[in-house]
Each structure stands twice: as structure tokens, then as C-alpha cells.
Structure 1
Amino acid sequence: MQRPAYLHASYRYGFWWLALVALGLLALGLGLRDPWPADEPRFALNSLEMLKTGHFWLPHRGGELYPDKPPIFMWATAASIAITGSVRLGFLLPSLIAALGTLALVTDLTNRLYGRRIALLSGIALLSTVQFALQAKTAQIDMLVTLWITLGAYGLMRHALLGPARGWWYLGCAAMGLGIITKGVGFLPLLMLPAWALLAWRGKATPLRLKELGLGLALILGVAALWVVPMALITTFGDEPGMAAYRDNILFKQTGKRLATAWHHVKPWHYYIVSVLPWAWLPLVLGLPWVVPSWWHRLRRLDARVLLPLSGTLLVVVFFSLSPGKRGVYMLPTSPLLVLAMAPLLPGLLCKRGLHWLATGLLALLGAIFLVAGVLGAAGLPALTELAAKYDVTPWVWWMLLGVAAAGLLVWLRPRRGMLGLAAWLAVFWALWSTFGYQQLDQTRSPRDMMQRVVQITGPSAWLAQPDFDEEFLLQAQQPSVHFGFHTDQDAQFLRAFDWLTQAPGERWMLIPQRKEDQIACADLSQVNDLGLQNNEHWWLIPGTAFASCQGDASAAPLFVAPTTVADAATAGYQPATQQDQDGVTATPEDSGK
């Protein structure tokens, strides 16, 4: 079959165009939304507290030690907020930079292994991968840890495939150490060691000497120890309540116990294969019917350039599948490795008529779904209007635009260029998601407007109790707030809240979801202020005077005063960005609602 003409384009400036497209696509939408649950408000709150309190070594959440993750990502977020002067701009920057760094590592390595054309195709393939683009636009730890894992794999493969290059091996080991103190699993590139040993034994790769292995492992542990050792000393000899529990949680519960005996997100062993990878690896997954036979032939002749990243990809999937606790985002580090394993096959794949027809069929299906849903929603179909009411959005125009875009690409590019059409449609999807989608969903996923209504009712100097709180409400609070321990038993939290409210009932209020009505059966519910629906919950605001008949207990749970919020950050100079900021005009805290 004749090679498509668009593959013959000059690659001289291809990397610069790829970098510009990646920056434009992934950075689009910065400053247009607040941190969204589940994880983003928590890390933004951690970072703001670091900036205000100066407690950088041990992260805090609402004045309470936060023991679930090491602080590397929070440090990066705090630095981004401080540099940009904006919570909205800063909280997404670490993921953006990590995604661009990962993309650069993959294209550089494939360029060295296969040449410029395959490197450019590999970069486009990674940028088009659904989970990669999604996490680049999400302020979670996983994109940053993927950067460290990819750098670790890069250093390993530079030594194994293009070596000897001991310096790159040691740099990769240092990156793995950073990955461990980012999210514990930075060591994943070491899963390629068995394949490396086999290839070196057969003379297909640079041998890893025992001394180099020992120094590399020592470097991994040494970099991790830069935070772990001071943390252990501080928590062992410090006098802040909960420090010993913090140390034990971060060292044991959040590492080995979380993987071996997970207590949440429990899924069957096949969860990733059946429920995650089919969408996370799109559109790469479409090429597997042609890639797998080619992989087999290359593996039979021990092609080290394919065997190393492919073994890493498969073993990462197996590693996380063995744990009962599973989240789809754990598969993110496999995307760069998968692209590296598929890289030499990409030009041939783009010549496969069947692959283009498969991509065309998927594009037609996605376009039809969005177009029909948009038309029926605009026409008032009850099921869809109920869905829109639940989330307080009217996305029909957006859905119709995606459907029309798919139809237009199908007509313009035809089935012979189905993969190009699918990649272009994904770019349209992310562009609309990062603009229209952000604006539509922000008021639903961020409680900013509701917390403004709260302060209008209570007054700015009134104190607000948030038992059984979610971080987004503490982050967006516009007034002094307290809580009673994130992991504290709920009954104990409410007993302490009753005691605190009745000490100054005219100046203190409680914010609570309606579903907790049984917990406040002693309260006078005639005084409830109904705030309506927010973040899929119905919310009540209740004055302290409504709890006069409630029996509290001052010793039931500790009281934590939230030391900072987005509103505090604005007064400190970290102003939330608005659309005006994109035009060079900085909004005031009053204008932005923070």
C-alpha cells in the first residue's frame, strides 16, 4: 500500500510545531476554573497553608496534619501559586509542566533510537492519548509522578540501549527517588530490570554491572531519604499532636498496606484490562490488532528497543492489578511506555487501511452520540434535562458542536485518514472542554458562589463550623472556619460541634449537607437556611441558636481552625484569575468572588 502523502512532510521544524501545539492544547483553559474535587481542592488547600504558615515539610489540611501523600506535589503547587500570584493559574501548572516534560522525554528518546520522523509521530501519539491529555489538565499528583517515572525509564534505556551511559542511569535513579517521595511508586522503571538482564546476557543491551546497580539503588534510597529522614526525626521528636500517627501513616499505611490490603477503591483483578485501558489508551488501543503480531516477531529476535518498554508497560499493569485497591489514574505511567514500545511500528500502522476504517467507525459513533444527545437535550428529553438539572449545566450546544465537528472531519478527511480525523476530533474535544466545558461546570463543581451566599447570610466576621467537611468547601470559605478532624468519628465531630456552637450561638453557624439530618435531630430545623444543590449535595446553613437543645461534648474530638482559604490567599496577594486576567487585567478579590 502506498504511504500516505502527509507522512512525507518535512520534519525539520516538526518538534517546534509539536511543542507549540502541545503547549497550546494543554495550557488552554488555565485560569478559567477553580480546583475541582476530588483531589484538586485538597492539594490547593495544602499548598496555600504552606505559603501562609511556612510549614513546608509536613503538609497540613485545614490546620490538621495531612498524612496521605508526601509534599513534593504540594511544594510544586505552592511555588506555582506564589510565582503566578493566582490560585486559578497556579494550581494546574505542575501538571502542565510535567506533561510537557514527559512529552519531551519520549520524543527525544525515540529520536535517538529511530530518527526524527518516528519521534514526531511518537509525540503526536502520546499527546493524542486520552488519559495523558486528561491528566495534563488535572491537578492531581499522577502527572508529576509520571514525569519522574518516565525520566527514570529514560535514564535506564539511555544506558541499556544507547550506552554505556552511566550518568543517565544515575539520573534516572535520582528521578525514581523523587517519584517515591511524590507518590510512593516512583520505582516502577525497575520493573524493566529482568528484561534488561536477559537482553544483556544475549548481547542485545549494555550490561548493568553489579556496582552500577548497587549505586543506583543507593541513589534512589538516598534521594527519598532527603525528605523521609528529616520527616521521621521531626515527627518522632516534635510536640505537635498527631505527629507519630502521621509518620506511621505515610511510611506504612499509604505504601505497603495500601497496595497489599487496600481499604477502598476495591476492584476485581481485571479492572484495568476491561474498564480502564480501553479508553485510557485511546487511540493507541485501536492499533493493537496489528501491533501485537509485530511485537511478537520483534520479541522473538530480542529487539531490545521494543522489549524493554513493552515489558515495563505489561509489568506495571500486572503490578497494580495484583493490589485489590485500584484507580484508573494508576495506569497513567503506562502511556509513555506504550508509545515507546509502539514507536517503530507507527509509520507502518498509519498505512493500514483497516486501522483507518476502525478509527472512522469510532469517530462516527462518538459524533452520533454527542449530536443526538445534544439535539434531544435541546428538545427537552426528560432524562437528559433531569441530568442537566442535577449538575446545573446546559451542555447541549457543546455536545452538538462535538457532533458537528465529527461529521465535518469525516467528510473532509474521509475514511482513508480516519486516525488523523480521530486525533483532530480529540483536539477539538479538549479545546471545547477547556473553555466552554470549564465555564459550564465550574459553578457546579466549585462551591465558590454558595460560600459567597453563606457569608452574605452570616456576615463576614461570623465563624463557620464544617463537620464531616469536604476540602472544596473549606478552601472556598469566605469567613473564619473550623472543623473537627477529617478522620474523626462523625458522632464525635457533631458532639464537639454542638459544644462549640452553643458557646457563642449568635456568632457561630454550621454548614451541613441535608443527608446528615439524623446527626442534628436535636436542632431546631425551623431556623435552617436552605442553600440548594451544590456538588451533588443539598446544603443547609444553620445558626448556632438552633442548637440550644443539643448536648455537646468538648472532649469528643479536637477542634481545628482552618488557617487559610482562597479568600485569605487573595488578601495575601495570591489573587484568583478570571477571564479578565487572560487579557492582562487583574481582577480584585471582590470582582472574582474570592
Structure 2
Amino acid sequence: MFKSARSYPAWLFWIVAWLVLGAGLGLRDPWPADEPRFALVAMQMVESGQWLFPHRGGELYSDKPPFFMWMQALAYQATGQWRVAFLLPSLLAALGTLWCVVDLGRRLWTPRVGYYAGWALLLTVHFVYQSKKAQIDPLVVFWITLANYGLLRHLLTGPAWRWWVLGWFAAGMGTITKGVGALALLMLAPLALAAVLRPLRAALAPGGVAHRALAWVEMPVRAGIGRGYFWLGPLAFVFAVALWIAPMATVALTHSDPVYRGYLGDLLLRQTAVRYSKSWDHHQPPWYHLGVMLSMWLPLMFALPWALPAWRRRLARLDPRYVLPMAWWLLVIVFFSIPQGKRDVYILPALPMACLMFAPLLPGILRRAWPRRIGFAFAALIVLALLGVGLSMWFGNPGFERKLIAERDFTDGARGLAAGVLAIACWGLAALLWAGPRRPILGMAATLCGLWVLNGVLVAPVLNDSSSARGVMSKVAARIGPEAELGLVAWKEQNLLRTQSRTTTFGFKMRWPEQLKQGLAWQAQAPRTRWLLVQDPALPACVDRNRAEIGGRSNRRIWWLVPYAARETCPAAPPLRPHEDDTD
């Protein structure tokens, strides 16, 4: 089956990677908070042919650059299936990130170290959790990792000018994907510092600590920094950014509608510089990302106590294979710790380089008794927790079932969900028993891989209707019939994405009272065939709830289906309840 014994680790790793990251592809729809938004924008690109300026409903969508949505739209044109297309860019980006880490580890150390780095990344909870979601971040992580790969190929194994240019180009692509792609260029910060300090070396005593430290000044020379080829890198970065910025800015600034100039300002200033300097959401303390790494970067971080002394010795030798990636890792942490607004996903781009730093040490660390015990205990705790939850659901926890029904309209009970959870727990138990005390790390790896595969295949499809709004929108379409029209008020992206009726919206960012005012006027034009679907907090008191119907529950929200007869007594602009402007 395999050409040689050396090919077996490669086949095993990539088959497992495809299974872990790809399990469940095509079995679910986009889930909030971000997935329906991006899928809706991509769908509207395909349907309207307007790719340069993304839209959400009838409004321009300026929160994020459109590159990720372009990838989803192209994936749909290639596959013809939105259930596959919306997740495909994240899957391919995650596999590309794994390849960069594995190949870089192989080139800087050995093939074995490369696969240790790959397994470390594949088994880290944060990486897989994000890679199985249709968000921009997996693609950003890929571009930043590819940029790191290209720069390090040139600086540590080069000169390799093609990789140098590719590294800068990838940083530019990351920038037009989500602004922060340029962080990859912080990899050059130690070299820039060395170049500035280069004149000091001649004044120091040869052989001293300071003299050896400033030996770094030779690296910029060896890397060709300052030569003609150097400038091809910055030019490649500018070219990548201009691929989108140039045509978009040209059209926006010359368009007769000022909305497009507002789009340009919001996207390039408010959502980047202003958001960084004056964050308006997700406020966290400065040490927040340290907690994220220690909790979400498991099981990798279990090796940290043994890695720290080894890193100190290697850094004392000024080994550039450690100095450059570790300096970059530290700079990324500092960068994202400065603003008040922080989310766990912000620090994710640093994870691939962190895995690369752990990889040469892992063979020795995993031969120690305590890391093996911790790995086994970690997997055992996961299995016991899943077993407890699954048995509780299976034998009936009335409070749990009531919560599922109240928040998600999960009317089928908890048996299907319980079966999936118990299947994962049984797999983990079997994996630990098979591995035994002699191979605890293998048992842990099998448990984690099985968890992600079975979750994608068994659990996600059970939760799909209640988590994606497909269930609510199917019920609404069946209730009003194929000839009726539906108007959305205080709607979320998943409602428009999963609608099965002829649907009209009245703005998204617009305040709810104005949406409702326009919706009532629209409904009055054809009272017999037009219905309104209104989120519960936006439903005015003047609506007769005996004539209105609960259209369904989804994602902890209640949706009311309002016929014309239920709102006949409402004024033209009815007052709403105090929390009417919750447009989150």
C-alpha cells in the first residue's frame, strides 16, 4: 500500500487530517453568529453578479473585506452546493496551514519534527474548533502562516528569493482578507533591529556575550536585505493589497451615490484603525490572551513546563530557528493585548508558529512520565464528561429538554443528541483501553480525533435545524403557503439565508422601529398575501397575539408570524418595547 516505511507517517497524518477537519462537510447549514452573515453575502454575490461591493440584504456590508466571501462564492460555483461551499474555504485553509507547518519543520529540523509540529497543531482544540467553522479566521491564519513560511524559507534556509516574494505577497493577501495579515511581517523585526545595531559590533570585544549577540547583524547581510531583490518583497505586498483596494476605492470615490464613499471610510478606517484604538465591544483585561493560550491551546500547553527550560537554552545559543518565530509570537501577543477589545480568535494566527517551537522538543517531553499521565488524564476527563452528559440526556433530564425546546425549538427531544454524545464517549473509552498505559498519548490523540469526526457526522446534523433557522423558516413557509410573501423585521442573517418564501427586508442596521414602520406599510399594500416575521422584542403591544402566531424558536430567539388581521389596530409607526433597538 505504501511505497516505503517513510511514506507511512505522511499518509497517516494527511488521512487523519482530512477526516478530522472535513467530517460533517455538507451535513449542516451555516450557524450563527458569523457563518450565516458570510454565506448570505456570498449567495447574494452569486445571484446579483455584484462582487466588488458585498451586500447584506439591500445594504452594503462594510464590516469585513469581501475576500472570504469571494472564496465561498467560487466554491459554490465549483460545487453547486451551498452546504459544501460555505465550509470549503476554511477546510482548504486549515489543510494549507498544516502543510506549511509540517514542511517548515521538516526543512528546519527533520521530517519527524515536521510531523510532530503537524500533529501538535491538528490536536490543538482551538485550531480544529475554528477550522470547522465558516469564519474568516482560518483563511487569515493560512495567509499569515504562508507568509511566515516564505520569509523563514528565505532567511533560514536561503537565500530563496521566490519564497521571500511569496511571503510578502501572502501577507498582503492576509491584509485584504482581514486587516491583520500584515502582522506576518513582524517576523522581520529582529533583523531590522540587528541592522540598526550593526555598527556597534566593531566596538565590542570579540567573543563576549554582546559581541555574540550582535552576530545577528550578519543575518540581514546574508539574507540580502538592502539589495535590489529585497524590494521585490514590499512590491509584492503592495500588489496583493492593490488587487482589491485599487478597483474598490476607484469605484467608491467616483460613484454618484455617497453610500459607497461611506462604505470605503467605514471599512478602511472605522473597522481597522478605530476598532483597534477605540474598541467598542469584547472588552477584556490585558492578560486575556494568556488565558486563552493556556486553556484553548490544549493539549499542546501541557508541555509548556518542560519546554520553557529547553527554549531558554536554545535562545541563549541564539539559534535563529527559535529566535525569529518566538520573537514573532511574543510581538503578536503584545499587539493584540494593547486594545481593550479582545476575542479568543485574535491570537489564533500565532498558534502554528507555537507548534513549530514545541515540535523539536516533543519527542523528549513525551518520553517523560508526567506528560504522559497528564495526556491520559485529559482524555479520560473528556470521556467521563461526555459519558455523564450523554447518560443524563438519554435517561431524561426534564430541565435540559425544556431548555432545548424553549431556546431552540428542539421538539424531537434529546435522544438523538444523546446518542451522538454517547457515541463519542464510547469511542474515547475504547481508544483509551486500546492504547493502554503504555501508549497514553496515542490514546489521547485517538480520542480527540474521534471527538471531532463523530461530532461532525452525528451531533451537528441533529442540531442543524434548530441552530441554523432552517426549522423556523421551513415552518413559516409551510404555514403561509407558496403564494404568500414574507417580510422580515428585526431579522438575522440566517432568516434571509434559509427563507423558502418570496422575502422582503427593510434594512438590517436600520433601527427596529423604522423597519417595522416600513414593514407595516408594505404589508398594507397586499393584506391578504403578505405576512411579517418579527423577532419577539420588536413586536409592538398593539399586535393581537391571539391572531398572531409563534413562527418558531431558534438560537434563543422567538419569532412571531403576523398576518394583517393581527395588526389592524396598530398606528402607522407603533411604539416598541424598551429593548427595541437590539440590533446585535
Pairwise same-fold verdict (TM > 0.5) = yes
Partner residue, 1:546: 566
Partner residue, 1:251: 268
Matched, 1:314 2:336: no
Cα displacement string for residues 298-345 of structure 1 (whole angstroms, at most 9, x for unaligned residues): 111111111211222222122112121112122221221111111211
Partner residue, 2:82: 87
- 1:395-414 aligned at under 5 Å gives the runs 395-414=417-436
Matched, 1:284 2:300: yes
The structural deviation recorded for 1:416 is 4.0
The structural deviation recorded for 1:215 is 4.1
One-letter amino acid matched to 2:457 = T
Q: Give the direction of change, closer, same or farther, for the CA distance of 1:476–1:385 in structure 2 (3 Å limit).
A: closer
Moved more, 525-534 or 190-199: 190-199
Partner residue, 1:123: 118
Give the counterpart of 1:202 among 201, 215, 234: 215
Moved more, 529-538 or 244-253: 529-538
The answer on whether the counterparts of 1:141 and 1:182 sit within 8 Å (CA) in structure 2 is yes
Partner residue, 2:373: 357
The answer on whether the counterparts of 2:76 and 2:82 sit within 8 Å (CA) in structure 1 is yes
- State how far apart, in whole Å, the 1-side matches of 2:17 and 2:144 are: 20
Partner residue, 1:44: 39
The structural deviation recorded for 1:553 is 6.2
Q: Give the direction of change, closer, same or farther, for the CA distance of 1:87–1:236 in structure 2 (3 Å limit).
A: same
Partner residue, 1:103: 98
The answer on whether the counterparts of 1:266 and 1:325 sit within 8 Å (CA) in structure 2 is yes
Unaligned runs of 5+ in 1: 1-8, 555-594
Q: Give the direction of change, closer, same or farther, for the CA distance of 1:419–1:197 in structure 2 (3 Å limit).
A: farther
The structural deviation recorded for 1:220 is 1.5
Moved more, 112-121 or 371-380: 371-380
Q: Is the partner of 1:411 in helix, strand or coil?
A: helix
Partner residue, 1:344: 360
The answer on whether the counterparts of 1:357 and 1:416 sit within 8 Å (CA) in structure 2 is no
Cα displacement string for residues 453-473 of structure 1 (whole angstroms, at most 9, x for unaligned residues): 212222223222212210000
- State how far apart, in whole Å, the 1-side matches of 2:439 and 2:330 are: 30
One-letter amino acid matched to 2:50 = H
- State how far apart, in whole Å, the 2-side matches of 1:493 and 1:293 are: 60
Partner residue, 1:75: 70
Query: Equivalent pairs: percent with the same residue?
Result: 41
Q: Give the direction of change, closer, same or farther, for the CA distance of 1:544–1:239 in structure 2 (3 Å limit).
A: farther
Matched, 1:157 2:152: yes
CA RMSD of aligned residues (A): 2.1
- State how far apart, in whole Å, the 2-side matches of 1:291 and 1:155 are: 26
Q: Give the direction of change, closer, same or farther, for the CA distance of 1:310–1:96 in structure 2 (3 Å limit).
A: same
The answer on whether the counterparts of 1:496 and 1:552 sit within 8 Å (CA) in structure 2 is no
Partner residue, 1:488: 510
The answer on whether the counterparts of 1:64 and 1:485 sit within 8 Å (CA) in structure 2 is yes
Matched, 1:53 2:53: no
Partner residue, 1:500: 522
Moved more, 322-331 or 213-222: 213-222
Give the counterpart of 1:423 among 430, 442, 445: 445
How many residue pairs get aligned? The number is: 543
Q: Is the partner of 2:342 in helix, strand or coil?
A: coil
Partner residue, 1:578: none
Matched, 1:466 2:488: yes
The structural deviation recorded for 1:367 is 1.6
Q: Is the partner of 1:533 in helix, strand or coil?
A: strand
Q: Give the direction of change, closer, same or farther, for the CA distance of 1:435–1:482 in structure 2 (3 Å limit).
A: same
Matched, 1:171 2:166: yes
The structural deviation recorded for 1:449 is 2.5
The structural deviation recorded for 1:136 is 2.0
The answer on whether the counterparts of 2:75 and 2:88 sit within 8 Å (CA) in structure 1 is yes
The answer on whether the counterparts of 2:424 and 2:455 sit within 8 Å (CA) in structure 1 is no
Give the counterpart of 2:471 among 438, 442, 449: 449
The answer on whether the counterparts of 2:489 and 2:535 sit within 8 Å (CA) in structure 1 is no
The structural deviation recorded for 1:198 is 5.5
- 1:571-582 aligned at under 5 Å gives the runs none
The answer on whether the counterparts of 1:371 and 1:403 sit within 8 Å (CA) in structure 2 is yes
Q: Give the direction of change, closer, same or farther, for the CA distance of 1:199–1:119 in structure 2 (3 Å limit).
A: farther
Unaligned runs of 5+ in 2: 196-213, 575-584
Give the counterpart of 1:223 among 240, 253, 263: 240
Partner residue, 2:254: 237
Q: Is the partner of 1:511 in helix, strand or coil?
A: strand
Partner residue, 2:206: none
- State how far apart, in whole Å, the 2-side matches of 1:548 and 1:173 are: 62
- Tell me the TM-score normalised to structure 2 length: 0.89
One-letter amino acid matched to 1:309 = P
- State how far apart, in whole Å, the 2-side matches of 1:74 and 1:195 are: 35
Matched, 1:24 2:24: no
- State how far apart, in whole Å, the 2-side matches of 1:553 and 1:172 are: 56
The structural deviation recorded for 1:499 is 2.1
- State how far apart, in whole Å, the 1-side matches of 2:46 and 2:513 are: 33
Structure number with higher relative contact order (C-alpha < 8 Å, ≥ 6 residues apart): 1
Moved more, 399-408 or 185-194: 399-408
Partner residue, 1:4: none
Q: Is the partner of 2:134 in helix, strand or coil?
A: coil
Matched, 1:510 2:532: yes
- State how far apart, in whole Å, the 2-side matches of 1:131 and 1:327 are: 12
Q: Is the partner of 1:466 in helix, strand or coil?
A: strand
The structural deviation recorded for 1:58 is 0.8
- State how far apart, in whole Å, the 1-side matches of 2:476 and 2:400 are: 30
Partner residue, 2:582: none
Q: Is the partner of 1:506 in helix, strand or coil?
A: coil
Partner residue, 1:588: none
The answer on whether the counterparts of 1:358 and 1:418 sit within 8 Å (CA) in structure 2 is no
- State how far apart, in whole Å, the 2-side matches of 1:547 and 1:231 are: 44
The structural deviation recorded for 1:386 is 3.9
Partner residue, 1:438: 460
- State how far apart, in whole Å, the 2-side matches of 1:235 and 1:378 are: 57
Q: Is the partner of 1:34 in helix, strand or coil?
A: coil
- State how far apart, in whole Å, the 2-side matches of 1:176 and 1:529 are: 51
The answer on whether the counterparts of 2:490 and 2:538 sit within 8 Å (CA) in structure 1 is no
One-letter amino acid matched to 2:482 = P
Partner residue, 1:132: 127
The answer on whether the counterparts of 2:428 and 2:451 sit within 8 Å (CA) in structure 1 is no
The structural deviation recorded for 1:213 is 5.3
The structural deviation recorded for 1:401 is 2.9
One-letter amino acid matched to 2:494 = E
- State how far apart, in whole Å, the 2-side matches of 1:543 and 1:347 are: 67
- Tell me the TM-score normalised to structure 1 length: 0.87
The answer on whether the counterparts of 2:64 and 2:267 sit within 8 Å (CA) in structure 1 is yes
One-letter amino acid matched to 1:280 = M
Partner residue, 2:309: 293
